[in-house]
A and B are shown apart, each in its own frame.
Chain A
Amino acid sequence: MEVSPSVVWRNKPYRYRLEVRRCPKCGRAFREEVEVCPKCNERTERVRMAGRGKLLSWAKVCQVPEGFEDFSPLYFGLVELEDGSRIIARLTDVLEEPKIGMEMEAVLRKVRADGSTGLIEYAIFFRPAF
Chain B
Amino acid sequence: MVGIAGWGAYVPAYRVSAEEIARHWGADPKVPISLGVKEKSVAGPDEDSVTIAWEAAMNALARAQIEPSEVGMVFIGSESKPYAVKPSATIIADALGIAPETMAVDAEFACRAASEGMRHALSMVENGTIRHALIIGSDTAQGAPGDVLEYTAASGGAAFVISNENVVANFIDAYTYVTDTPDFWRRDGSQYPNHGEGFTGEPAYFHHLVSAIKHLMDKHSLKPSDITYFVPHQPNARFPLKLAKMLGFKKEQVVLGLTTADIGNTYNASAFMGMTRVLDNASPGDLILMAPFGSGAGADAYLFEATDRIEEAKGLARKTQEYFDRRKEIDYATYLRYRGKIKKLVR
Contact = CB atoms under 8 A, between A and B. Distances in A.
Interface stretch (B16-24, B49-57, B146-154, B219-227): B49-57
A43 interface: no
A108 B44 contact: no
Nearest to A51: B58
Majority secondary structure, B binding face: loop
A109 B91 CA distance: 12
Given A108-B51, A108-B54, A122-B50, A95 B346 contact: no
Interface string B310-347: 00000000000010001010000000010010001011
Given A16-B94, A69-B344, A115-B347, A95 B13 contact: yes
B322 A110 contact: no
A120 B83 contact: yes
Contact of A110 (B46, B328, B344): B46
Given A108-B55, A120-B82, A130-B326, A125 B95 contact: no
B55 A107 contact: yes
A122 B346 contact: no
A12 B94 contact: yes
A97 interface: no
Interface of B: 13, 44-48, 50-51, 54-55, 82-83, 91, 94-95, 97, 322, 326, 328, 337, 340, 344, 346-347
Given A90-B46, A109-B47, A110-B50, 13 more contacts: A2-B347, A12-B95, A16-B95, A17-B95, A70-B337, A95-B13, A108-B95, A109-B46, A115-B347, A116-B347, A120-B82, A120-B83, A122-B51
Interface of A: 2, 12, 16-17, 67, 69-71, 90, 92-93, 95, 107-111, 115-116, 120, 122, 125, 130
